[in-house]
């Protein structure tokens, strides 16, 4: 349930991008770098990670939080989460929120974070 928070922010950024015409990456960075958004995501992710138990949707949550931290500039947090998320790419959000195909966007993020 905690992963609904980054999901909601991706949806908002995507919707705002449709109306403003900005580049998708730019819109995502603008959304996730806001101090209020970044702060609540850090708090939620820390709470989720410390209390988390094995769950079938954990990889999707790791992708959502990892992508949010990638766009917010918290690359060490993104690196940790996306390392655990693996190479499988969710078909929709978060990586489909950018202009490239989800697989290509995720591969680019992994390269920028120094992940194999």
What pLDDT shows up at residue 52? 62
Q: Extract the tokens encoding 116.
A: 């194999």
What pLDDT shows up at residue 20? 47
Cα–Cα distance measured from residue 113 to residue 73, given in angstroms and rounded to the nearest whole number: 10
- What's this model's pTM, rounded to 2 decimal places? 0.87
Task: Give 85-94's long-range contacts (Cβ < 8 A, gap of 24+).
Answer: 85/59, 86/59, 88/59, 89/63, 90/60, 90/63, 93/7, 93/10, 93/11, 93/14, 93/64, 94/6, 94/7, 94/10, 94/63, 94/64, 94/67, 94/68
What pLDDT shows up at residue 69? 98
How would you write the pLDDT of the chain (116 residues) with one tens digit per residue?
A: 788 999 999 988 877 776 444 578 888 999 999 999 999 999 999 988 776 677 778 888 999 999 999 999 999 999 999 998 888 888 777 888 766 688 888 999 999 999 98
């Amino acid at each position: 349930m905690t992963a609904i928070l980054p999901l909601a922010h991706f949806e908002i950024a995507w919707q705002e991008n449709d109306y403003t015409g900005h580049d998708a990456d730019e819109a995502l960075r603008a959304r996730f770098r806001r101090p209020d958004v970044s702060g609540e995501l850090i708090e939620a992710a820390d709470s989720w990670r410390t209390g988390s138990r094995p769950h079938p949707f954990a990889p999707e949550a790791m992708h959502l939080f990892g992508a949010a931290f990638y766009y917010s500039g918290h690359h060490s947090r993104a690196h940790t989460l996306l390392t655990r998320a693996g190479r499988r790419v969710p078909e929709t959000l978060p990586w489909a929120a950018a202009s490239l195909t989800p697989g290509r966007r995720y591969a680019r993020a992994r390269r920028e974070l120094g992940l194999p």
